[in-house]
Amino acid sequence: MKHVLEGSHAVSEAVRLARTQVISAYPITPQTHIVEALSEYCAEGIMDAKFICVESEHSAMAACIGAASAGVRTFTASSSHGLALMHELLHWAAGARLPIVMAEVNRALGPGWNIWMDQSDSLSQRDTGWIQLYCEDGQEVLDTTLQAYRLAEAVNLPVMVVLDAFFLSHTYEPVDVPDQDTVDSFLPALSPHIQLDLNHPNAIGQMAPPAFYMEMRHSIQQAMQSVPEHFHQVEETFAKIFDRQYGPVSAYKCDDADLIFVMAGTAASTCRQAVDDLRAAGKKVGVLKLKMFRPFPCLYVRKYLETAQKVMVLDRNCSFGIGGIFAQELRSALYLNKRRPAIYSYISGMGGRDITVDHFMEMFDRTQTADYPEDESIWIALNNA
């Protein structure tokens, strides 16, 4: 049944429907609406779950690690500085192979204090071993959160469901909220791969000397490499029940495109409008939206981009000293391909600044007229430019 929901509440509805058993969270704007709703569900008995009001995000993840190790389904939500504070435990959760799901609301890091949309927080956690899935609208948020549990539990890796601050977390849209029985048919109860067990006393997360450690890390990489296949299966099952499917990437008018925009998140909606306008003017342009960032969907990216002449990447982030992070990843993913379109990297929309159709037009104009990229990354819509 369709409800008009805030993006944040698309998350909390999914967490409720997933029958999550332990939730541990600490407030930070703009993820608070997610955990406020979940607190209410726990308090009112709508969910049969424990909500732990921890004293920091670091402890939020530590409590999730404890609960997941004891064999229950867990959830937390965070953003920005909260996610940065969790960093150590993001490594721990993945290293311990725990299927924890987190909603991550993309927000800038200070200073200066900035509570608005920016991808620097989640992308800074690139190497922690978390699967990262970026969403574009409220329905995708709800669906991805449900899928995240199945995916996490299939590969024993934690999943971060990422949504843009305010543009998505605080925007109301019609969202189809399925009933419990339907969700139960998609998402069975957790059957833990390993857990603390009095009958079989074991040690979880103990010291691993050089003779063992590398194999443990290798197994994480293998699990990550299996994610696209598992995600495909999860989506196939999901589509049979809910008739919706997203893919690790989603292409819009890419088949015959000479120039293709690439980005993640809500900017993709704006970009499609720009592409429609450009197509109307006779330009062969498309959009490839990235949903999956970790693992990086190399095969999908190569498939859709290799026939293009130029690729324009929008990054709402910057790895200082090199440039846009999505652009770097794309360059790396395409390097081994025989056909390598030139990557034009554009940075804009950081710290909550709007990205408009005009900005995409500017990227297109600069890319179309250039013989090769002017720089590693070009900043668009700087006030002093």
Partner 1 sequence: MKSTDNASEKKCMNTNTAECSNVSHYPSTDYIMPGHVACPGCGAVIAMKFALQALGPKTILVIPACCWAVVAGVHPQTSLKVPVLHTAFETSGAAASGVRAALDIKGDTETTVVAWAGDGGTFDIGFQSLSGACERNENFLYVCYDNEAYMNTGVQRSSATPYGARTTTTPGDAWKNRRKKNIIEALAAHRIPYAATANIAYPDDMIRKFKKAKNIQGTRFIHAYASCPTGWRVPSDQTVSIARLAVQTNFFPLYEVEDGIRYTINTHGDRPVSDYLKVQGRFKHLAEKDIQCIQGMVDDDWQLLQRKTI
- Least separation in angstroms between CB 56 and partner 1: 7
Q: For partner 1, give the closer residue by CB, 52 or 347.
A: 52
Report the distance separating Cα 237 and Cα 285, nearest Å: 32
- Least separation in angstroms between CB 197 and partner 1: 6
Q: For partner 1, give the closer residue by CB, 67 or 168.
A: 67
Q: For partner 1, give the closer residue by CB, 69 or 348.
A: 69
Amino acid symbol at 181: D
- Least separation in angstroms between CB 296 and partner 1: 27
- Least separation in angstroms between CB 195 and partner 1: 9
- Beta carbons within 8 Å of 29's beta carbon, 6+ residues apart: 79, 107, 115
- Residues 94-115 as b/e (b if ≥16 CB within 10 A, e otherwise) read bbbbbbbbbbbbbbbbeeeebb
DSSP-derived secondary structure for 333-383 = HHHTSSS-PEEEEEE--GGG----HHHHHHHHHHHHH-SS-SSS-EE-S-T
Q: Which residues bind partner 1 (CB under 8 A)?
A: 21-22, 24, 48-50, 52-56, 58-60, 62-72, 74, 88-89, 92, 196-198, 201-209, 212
DSSP-derived secondary structure for 293-314 = EES--HHHHHHHHTT-SEEEEE
Q: For partner 1, give the closer residue by CB, 62 or 187.
A: 62
Q: For partner 1, give the closer residue by CB, 71 or 351.
A: 71
> Is 381 exposed, middle or buried, given 0-12, 13-18 or 19+ CB atoms closer than 10 A?
middle
Q: For partner 1, give the closer residue by CB, 194 or 342.
A: 194
- Least separation in angstroms between CB 220 and partner 1: 15
- Beta carbons within 8 Å of 156's beta carbon, 6+ residues apart: 97, 98, 99, 193, 223
> Is 90 exposed, middle or buried, given 0-12, 13-18 or 19+ CB atoms closer than 10 A?
buried
Q: For partner 1, give the closer residue by CB, 202 or 369.
A: 202
- Least separation in angstroms between CB 142 and partner 1: 23
- Least separation in angstroms between CB 176 and partner 1: 29
